[in-house]
Structure 1
Amino acid sequence: MEHLLVLVRHGQSEWNLKNLFTGWKDPGLTEKGVAEARAAGGKLRDLKLAFDVAYTSDLSRAQNTLKLILEELGQEGLETIRDQALNERDYGDLTGMNKDEAREKFGEEQVHVWRRSFDVPPPGGESLKMTAERVLPYYRSEILPQVIAGKRVIVAAHGNSLRALVMELEGLSPDEILKRELATGAPIVYRLTDEGKVASVQDLAD
């Protein structure tokens, strides 16, 4: 029985382009983001992959990325489950702020700590640890059982919600996952064992 799980970060958003902290805000995809999503679908089509169920977040940039991928695969009607458990990390008071302006206001070192420490949240927001604490229970209870049952699953979400999943799947430490960059619109193809462990991984980033 095949145990297929594909993770893909949404294509470039309007706020990615402007270098803003986005979090739970809901900007759309740029033209480049749309192209990245279509290219992701093309890569999966070239691998002759198809899916039985899709998961995405409550935010339109992930939903639209998934929609474009499924169009490329000819799977527009695929069952799709949306849940805010898969939303991006909440950046709290930093949300909507330009990253360079944040460094000027709070200092380079403080912003670096907020962005790149595992368990220090920005004011009013979530750390990566807190993000993982909502993503991973959802994965274990909702997504993993589908994969184990033989369903081919695709998850379209965000840099940090997907980092939490990659950390779990690949058994990475907090330090290791913080160094892991996930490209926009680049699928990661996992094949799992009957127990849900990673048998192989293929990163389709260019």
Structure 2
Amino acid sequence: MTTATFHQTIGTNQIYGSFNDSGSRTGFRIFSMMSLSNTLRIHPGLLRKRTLSSSQCKSCIIEASKFHLSVVDPMLSSSHSTTDDSWKTSNESALILIRHGESMWNEKNLFTGCVDVPLTKNGIDEAIEAGKRISNIPVDVIYTSALIRAQMTVMLALTQHRCKKVPIIMHNENEQANSWSQIYSESIKKQSIPVVTAWQLNERMYGELQGLNKQEMAEMCGKEQVHKWRRSYDVSPPGGESLEICYQRAVAYFREHVRMAICILCNILDWNAVIYSQILIEPQLSSGKHVMVVAHANSLRSIIVYLDKLTSQEVINLELSTGIPMLYMYKEGEFIRRGSPPGSKEAGVYAYCRSLALYRQKLDEMSY
């Protein structure tokens, strides 16, 4: 049985297929990928068909899921620091977690969940203050949810960072979005921080509570019941997600290397197979990257359950304030909580590890 075999061209964002049975090259392109550790094999007979059965599509997806991918975008493959990178160490990385600033529905004491509402004026101030607190901590890549209140917080916080890099949202939803958002200046790439958005980091969906007032619901259903809906691990609000369900999507995204899906797209002239990949978080830390995650109370509570190895009972008392950064250090496969950075003019947090102290020293030298 003849198969079409695909190998990556190192240093590019495209992978082209080999020749099919008739001697013509199959026009496959794989976007936003820097390396493949295996070889993808798809029977060319599938490529000549104008329709694919669900079982054939499923087979392709299973094949793709066997891959182990490393960092997939050139902007993420190195720190691109404008300073000397000798302060970096291969086994020590910073992880910053920030809950978004106050939203307009936080202000109104409403259940928000996945409703996409912006920040208040106070939330804008909180995001700016969070940026000041982490302004001396290195950031190579940022992950945020698909919701505007988290994305606003990212952008406002980065206006305060001393590295002066520009946060740029990565658009890999499809081939055109990827193509149209390319940056062709290498120097500008080095002055940018990629921002990866992921629905898996969204707030948990509060179901039939979304848009309702928390105090009014406590009076109607009882404080104890509302507390269970909001803080317990395995109790879901009506029609919504429990923290356990939120944990499954948020922590899976945090931990795993890549989830891939193959889309076989029909074209009048030929077929294109596009693999969309998601760059996930813990592997970035393992490779020495410094990561910031800006998300929501419950998606971050889920991640903290994983980082701090909390029990389902301990998480009940875990509450996160809006706009307050939390710092972890990742070293030799372990996460070490370092609390909240005290502020841009405070030096105490940088005594936690040598790499942060050296990074701040480099920033100080640049400012002279």
When the two structures are superposed, what TM-score results if normalisation uses the length of structure 2?
Answer: 0.53
Counterpart for residue 340 of structure 2: 203
Distance 1:11 1:26 in 2: 14
Shift in Å at residue 27 of structure 1? 1.1
Question: Which letter maps to 1:59?
Answer: L
Shift in Å at residue 203 of structure 1? 1.9
Question: Which letter maps to 1:112?
Answer: H
- Per-residue CA shift, 1:71-127, capped at 9, x if unaligned? 111222310100000000110000000011212332333222212221010111001
Question: Which letter maps to 1:170?
Answer: D
Q: Taking structure 1 as reference, are residues 22 and 205 closer, same or farther at Cα in structure 2, changes over 3 Å only?
A: farther
Counterpart for residue 154 of structure 2: 66
Secondary structure of 1:174's counterpart equals coil
When the two structures are superposed, what TM-score results if normalisation uses the length of structure 1?
Answer: 0.94
Number of aligned residue pairs: 203
Answer with 146-155 or 107-116: which moved more: 107-116
Distance 1:18 1:103 in 2: 15
Highest CA radius of gyration, 1 or 2? Answer: 2
Secondary structure of 1:41's counterpart equals helix
Give the alignment partner of residue 219 of structure 2, picking from 92, 104, 108.
104
Give the alignment partner of residue 252 of structure 2, picking from 127, 131, 137.
137
Higher relative contact order (CA 8 A, sep 6+): 1
Counterpart for residue 6 of structure 1: 96
CA contact (8 A) 1:24 1:87 kept: yes
Shift in Å at residue 17 of structure 1? 0.5
Give the alignment partner of residue 51 of structure 1, picking from 125, 133, 139.
139
Alignment of 1:29-178 (within 5 A): 29-45=119-135, 48-73=136-161, 74-77=164-167, 78-141=193-256, 142-178=280-316
Q: Taking structure 1 as reference, are residues 205 and 13 closer, same or farther at Cα in structure 2, changes over 3 Å only?
A: farther
Structure with the bigger percentage of helix: 1
Percent of counterpart pairs with the same letter?
A: 44
- Per-residue CA shift, 1:15-60, capped at 9, x if unaligned? 0010000000011101110000000110111xx2121100000000
Secondary structure of 1:3's counterpart equals strand
CA contact (8 A) 2:94 2:138 kept: no
Counterpart for residue 189 of structure 1: 327
Distance 1:116 1:139 in 2: 21
Answer with 147-156 or 104-113: which moved more: 104-113
Question: Which letter maps to 2:319?
Answer: E
Secondary structure of 1:6's counterpart equals strand
Q: Following TM superposition, where does structure 1 have runs of at least 4 consecutive aligned residues deviating by more than 6 angstroms? A: none
Q: Taking structure 1 as reference, are residues 88 and 205 closer, same or farther at Cα in structure 2, changes over 3 Å only?
A: farther
CA contact (8 A) 1:183 1:205 kept: no
Counterpart for residue 3 of structure 2: none
Question: Which letter maps to 1:66?
Answer: V
Question: Which letter maps to 1:185?
Answer: G
CA contact (8 A) 2:329 2:336 kept: yes
Counterpart for residue 27 of structure 1: 117
